[in-house]
């Protein structure tokens, strides 16, 4: 449940790069939104100004039209009154005025037909025509007045002038009325537009403002979310996903910080490395869900037993580490280790299942560079740092690892790193270790192959791969000089994988050339404690496309006795893959035969110290003979290594030993030399 919760919460958390992308997308969308709004506002403004201009133009035209009509109206009415006046008191001035108004009227009507619509044009034409009639009538009236014929004048006035004027007015009035109506409408339109403008402008302004605010809020929220996700990513990079505890990186950082602080003060610090002995069993038998919850509980229990100022970290798998940065004479690193051992030995309850664990704890304590005498330090087993080794997290962890390894091997709950007890690698060794680490990266390791032949027929039946280090200054270094160092630290893990990788690529080359030959690779005790190894080997076989029966592994008796249950599990899994398993250096250790019988073993390799001397030391000859008999009874193939003479080979053949390996047959050879050896041998045999 807890695991599920932790996992789901982890899955829910957003990676910052995703959020970055989302933020960019949203900002783009918001930007597009703003553009659309601005475009709409712009379009509205444009439309409104054009509409206003249009209406204003229309209003101006209507005004001039109305003026023209007004001019026409007043000219006509002025003419009408002049006509009256002329009847009463004729004078040339009146006639002249009348003519002037004539021109004014014509101009006004011309203006009407120019400015107005087609309807106005028609009106103007009609008015023009009507005015001509009116004018003719007035002319006749003027003539009658000039002749002094007032009766005739009155008659013309009543019968022609007045009616024609009335007709003229009846056409003009509605036109004027229409133009005025038009002007009123224009005015209303203008007013409407103006009020719409004045109402809409603040609305547009406010919505723009609102949109900007919303965008600011959204991007602010996103920014906060992004910051939170970034903080989460930093947290994730420094913490173990399952338990939420600091991971190796953060732990190393805290150790380095504590080391610096301890150099300034008199404080001592302790690093404890904890390996759970039976954890894999839980994982394998009950499943990962149980394993995961157990790890969480282990982390919680250790944290609860320690102080807040201590750091509990999970380095990976079932490996935890603890930093105690305030050791005193009251609180020694051993106290902490003893307390943890007690805590971890209490039964755990995982989903109703009671589980017992054992832990191996390696403890290391720093001594500040300016530290006082070691024997009055605050730790029970004080340790002096090497004068020429700079203490850092890596060195402390390496030492804790050595101590942890000793604790595991000796079945002690915890062991404090103590160079006096042989835990301490010499400076030379430490340099070697650093060099070796680089050697792995720089591909300075290579393999030599030593042939294994059938003791009966002499046929080549396989090779043993033996690692060599082409050191840049020291030349070719033999494994005895660096394998034990690699074994005492975690480095042997990657070294073995590297050797396996090289061996399998050679196996592939030989198989492709139609000369397939099994290659035996040596495994170390530490490899047999690494539950990942079977999977890694299986992956390598697949990667190289090499069948499992072309790979043999050699393990020593002592490697098995370190943690027989675990070693047995791993060997079973290797055997299930199809690998051949040999017990190396057999006879030199103390493996009980019963123990061997339960393991998936195919081959025994008699230790070379017996074989080399078997013709000189009768006791060794007895051992060789007994091992051959015993092995055969257990249906195991027997390999004798250290065959240095023809006599030994013959004797072994007589004793029905199956396979022989040794300098007499060949020394371990570089691949090119091995090819030559093989060809020479094959041509000799065929001859
Ligand atoms: P080993 O597995 O017992 O390998 C046999 C060693 O005996 C080899 O030494 C080989 O050169 C030597 N030898 C073979 N025939 C004779 C002989 O007739 N007379 C004598 N006196 N010696 C003979 P080498 O190559 O120096 O390896 C030493 C040890 O280093 C190996 O002993 C093995 O335990 C370890 N080793 C070598 N390569 C690897 C490796 O890749 N991984 C691991 N974990 N250990 C390795
Ligand atoms: Ca070997
Ligand atoms: Ca051997």
Q: Which ligand is nearest to the CA of 609?
A: 1
- pLDDT over threshold 90, residue 504: yes
- The answer to whether the CB of 446 falls within 8 A of the CB of 438 is no
Q: Is 87 helix (H, G, I), strand (E, B) or coil?
A: helix
Residues 381 and 439 in one domain: no
Q: Could you give the dihedral angle defined by the CA atoms of residues 130, 133, 139 and 143, in that order, rounded to the nearest 10 degrees?
A: -150
- Please count the residues of the chain: 687
495, 529, 603, 608, best to mutate for ligand 1 pocket (most atoms within 8 Å of CB) = 608
Q: How far is the CA of 466 from the centre of ligand 3 (A)?
A: 10
- Please return the burial class of 624, using the count of CB atoms within 10 Å of its CB with bins 0-12, 13-18 and 19+: buried
Q: Is 351 helix (H, G, I), strand (E, B) or coil?
A: coil
Mean pLDDT of 571-587: 96
Q: Which ligand is nearest to the CA of 521?
A: 1
Domain for residue 225, yes or no? no
The last residue of a domain, from among 204, 220, 236 = 220
- pLDDT over threshold 70, residue 391: yes
Task: Determine the atom of ligand 1 nearest the C-alpha atom of 450.
Answer: 14
- The answer to whether the CB of 326 falls within 8 A of the CB of 311 is no
Q: Is 466 helix (H, G, I), strand (E, B) or coil?
A: strand
Ranges 1-10, 240-249, 297-306, 573-582: which has the least confidence: 1-10
Task: Determine the atom of ligand 1 nearest the C-alpha atom of 487.
Answer: 44
* Domain of residue 439, CATH code: 3.20.20.450
Residues 268 and 359 in one domain: yes
Mean pLDDT of 258-275: 89
Task: Determine the atom of ligand 1 nearest the C-alpha atom of 611.
Answer: 18
User: pLDDT tens, 613-626?
Assistant: 999 999 999 999 99
- pLDDT over threshold 60, residue 59: yes
DSSP string of 42-76, one letter each residue: HHHHHHHHHHHHHHHHHHHHHHHHHHHHHHHHHHH
Q: Could you give the dihedral angle defined by the CA atoms of residues 456, 460, 464 and 466, in that order, rounded to the nearest 10 degrees?
A: 120
| Residue corresponding to tokens 């050797």 | 499
Domain for residue 429, yes or no? no
641, 646, 665, 670, best to mutate for ligand 1 pocket (most atoms within 8 Å of CB) = 641
Q: What is the pLDDT of residue 372?
A: 34
Task: Determine the atom of ligand 1 nearest the C-alpha atom of 496.
Answer: 42
Which tokens hold the place of 7? 């996992």
Instruction: Work out the angle at residue 641's Cα, subtended by the Cα atoms of residues 635 and 644, and round it to the nearest 5 degrees.
Output: 140
Ranges 407-421, 470-484, 590-604, 673-687: which has the least confidence: 407-421
Domain for residue 15, yes or no? no
The last residue of a domain, from among 379, 406, 424 = 424
Report the alpha-carbon distance of residue 123 to residue 178 in Å, rounded: 11
Buried/exposed code over 159-186 (b: 16+ C-beta within 10 A; e: otherwise): ebbeebbebbbebbeebbebbeebbeeb
Residues 456 and 583 in one domain: yes
Residues 374 and 456 in one domain: no
User: pLDDT tens, 339-380?
Assistant: 998 899 889 999 998 898 888 899 999 864 333 333 333 333
Domain for residue 234, yes or no? no
Domain for residue 235, yes or no? no
Q: How far is the CA of 464 from the centre of ligand 2 (A)?
A: 7
- The answer to whether the CB of 662 falls within 8 A of the CB of 641 is yes
User: pLDDT tens, 675-685?
Assistant: 999 999 988 87
Report the alpha-carbon distance of residue 652 to residue 517 in Å, rounded: 23
Report the alpha-carbon distance of residue 508 to residue 504 in Å, rounded: 6
Q: How far is the CA of 585 from the centre of ligand 3 (A)?
A: 4
Residues 383 and 496 in one domain: no
Nearest of 236, 660, 318, 302 to residue 463 by alpha carbon: 660
Who's near 331: CB < 8 A, 6+ residues apart? 324, 378
**Closest residue CA from atom 19 of ligand 1:** 642
Residues 62 and 174 in one domain: yes
Q: How far is the CA of 609 from the centre of ligand 3 (A)?
A: 9
Count structural domains, the chain: 3
DSSP string of 263-292, one letter each residue: HHSS-EEEEEEEEETTHHHHHHHH-HHHHH
Domain for residue 193, yes or no? yes
Report the alpha-carbon distance of residue 80 to residue 75 in Å, rounded: 9
Mean pLDDT of 534-542: 97
Q: How far is the CA of 555 from the centre of ligand 3 (A)?
A: 9
Q: How far is the CA of 110 from the centre of ligand 1 (A)?
A: 127
Domain for residue 35, yes or no? yes
Q: Which ligand is nearest to the CA of 480?
A: 1
Mean pLDDT of 655-666: 98
Q: What is the pLDDT of residue 247?
A: 96
Report the pocket of ligand 1 as residue ranges, CB < 6 Å: 450, 466-467, 478-480, 483, 499, 522, 524, 554, 584-585, 608, 612, 641-644, 662-663, 668
Helix, strand, coil percentages (3-state) for the chain, rounded to 5, are 65, 15, 20
Q: How far is CA 123 from CA 72, 131, 176, 178, in A?
A: 12, 12, 10, 11
Mean pLDDT of 44-63: 76
Q: How far is the CA of 433 from the centre of ligand 1 (A)?
A: 20
| Boundaries of domain holding 278 | 248-424
Who's near 225: CB < 8 A, 6+ residues apart? 14, 19
- pLDDT over threshold 50, residue 162: yes
Going by DSSP bridges, is the β-strand pair 353-355/348-350 parallel, antiparallel, or unpaired? antiparallel
Residues 371 and 481 in one domain: no
Count of CB atoms situated within 10 Å of the CB of 7: 13
Q: What is the pLDDT of residue 171?
A: 82
The last residue of a domain, from among 366, 390, 424 = 424
Domain for residue 10, yes or no? no
| The most confident of 25-34, 231-240, 375-384, 655-664, by mean pLDDT | 655-664
Per-residue DSSP letter, 309: T
Task: Determine the atom of ligand 1 nearest the C-alpha atom of 664.
Answer: 18
- pLDDT over threshold 90, residue 665: yes
Residues 607 and 470 in one domain: yes
Task: Determine the atom of ligand 1 nearest the C-alpha atom of 607.
Answer: 3
Going by DSSP bridges, is the β-strand pair 445-454/414-416 parallel, antiparallel, or unpaired? unpaired
Residues 537 and 613 in one domain: yes
More confident residue, 422 or 288: 288
């Amino acid at each position: 449940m807890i695991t599920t919760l932790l996992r789901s919460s982890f899955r829910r958390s957003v990676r910052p790069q995703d959020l970055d992308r989302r933020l960019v997308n949203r900002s783009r969308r918001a930007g597009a939104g703003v553009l659309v709004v601005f475009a709409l506002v712009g379009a509205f403004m444009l439309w409104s100004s054009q509409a206003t201009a249009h209406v204003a133009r229309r209003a101006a035209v209507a005004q001039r039209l109305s003026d023209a009509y007004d001019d026409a109206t007043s000219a006509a009415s002025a003419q009408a009154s002049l006509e009256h006046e002329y009847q009463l008191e004729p004078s040339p001035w009146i006639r002249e005025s009348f003519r002037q108004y004539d021109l004014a009227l014509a101009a006004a009507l011309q203006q009407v037909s120019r400015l107005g619509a087609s309807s106005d044009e028609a009106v103007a034409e009609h008015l023009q025509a009507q005015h001509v009639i009116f004018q003719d009538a007035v002319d006749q009236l003027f003539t009658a007045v000039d002749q002094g014929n007032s009766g005739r004048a009155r008659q013309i006035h009543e019968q022609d002038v007045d009616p024609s004027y009335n007709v003229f007015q009846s056409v003009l009035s509605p036109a004027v009325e229409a133009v005025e109506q038009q002007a009123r409408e224009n005015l209303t339109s203008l007013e409407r537009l103006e009020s719409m403008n004045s109402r809409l402008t603040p609305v547009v302004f406010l919505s723009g403002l609102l949109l900007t605010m919303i965008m600011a809020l959204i991007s602010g929220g996103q920014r906060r979310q992004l910051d939170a996700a970034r903080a989460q990513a930093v947290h994730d990079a420094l913490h173990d996903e399952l338990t939420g505890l600091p991971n190796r990186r953060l732990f190393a950082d805290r150790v380095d910080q504590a080391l610096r602080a301890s150099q300034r003060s008199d404080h001592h610090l302790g690093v404890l490395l904890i390996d759970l002995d039976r954890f894999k069993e839980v994982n394998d038998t009950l499943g990962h869900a149980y394993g995961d919850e157990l790890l969480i509980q282990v982390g919680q229990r250790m944290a609860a037993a320690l102080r807040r100022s201590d750091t509990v970290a999970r380095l990976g798998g079932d490996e935890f580490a603890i930093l105690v940065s305030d050791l005193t004479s009251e609180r020694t690193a051993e106290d902490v280790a003893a307390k943890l051992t007690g805590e971890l030995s209490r039964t755990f309850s995982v989903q109703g299942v009671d589980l017992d664990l054992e832990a191996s704890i390696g403890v290391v304590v720093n001594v500040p560079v300016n530290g006082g005498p070691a024997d009055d330090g605050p730790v029970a087993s004080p340790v002096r740092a090497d004068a020429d080794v700079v203490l850092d997290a890596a060195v402390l962890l390496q030492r804790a690892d050595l101590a942890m390894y000793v604790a595991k091997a000796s079945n002690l709950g915890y062991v404090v790193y103590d160079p006096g007890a042989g835990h301490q690698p010499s400076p030379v060794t430490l340099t070697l270790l650093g060099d070796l680490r680089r050697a792995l990266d720089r591909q300075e390791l290579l393999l030599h192959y030593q042939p294994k032949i059938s003791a009966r027929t002499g046929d080549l039946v396989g090779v043993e791969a033996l690692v060599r280090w082409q050191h840049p200054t020291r030349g070719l270094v033999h494994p005895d000089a660096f394998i034990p160092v690699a074994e005492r630290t975690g480095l042997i893990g990657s070294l073995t994988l590297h050797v396996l990788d090289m061996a399998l690529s050679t196996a592939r080359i030989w198989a492709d050339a139609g000369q397939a030959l099994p290659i035996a690779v040596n495994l170390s005790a530490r490899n047999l404690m690494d539950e990942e190894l079977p999977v890694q080997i299986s992956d390598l076989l697949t990667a190289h496309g090499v069948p499992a029966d072309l790979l043999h592994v050699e393990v020593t008796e002592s490697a098995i006795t370190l943690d027989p249950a675990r070693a047995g599990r791993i060997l079973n899994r290797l055997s299930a893959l199809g690998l051949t398993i040999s017990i190396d250096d057999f006879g030199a250790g103390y493996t009980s035969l019963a123990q061997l019988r339960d393991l998936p073993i195919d081959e025994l390799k008699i230790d070379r110290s017996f074989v080399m001397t078997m013709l000189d030391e009768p006791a060794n000859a007895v051992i060789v003979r007994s091992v051959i008999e015993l092995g055969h009874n257990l249906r195991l193939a027997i390999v004798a290594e250290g065959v240095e003479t023809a006599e030994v080979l013959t004797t072994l053949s007589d004793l029905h030993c199956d396979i022989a390996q040794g300098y007499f047959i060949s020394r371990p050879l570089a691949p090119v030399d091995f090819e030559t050896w093989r060809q020479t041998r094959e041509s000799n045999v065929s001859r």
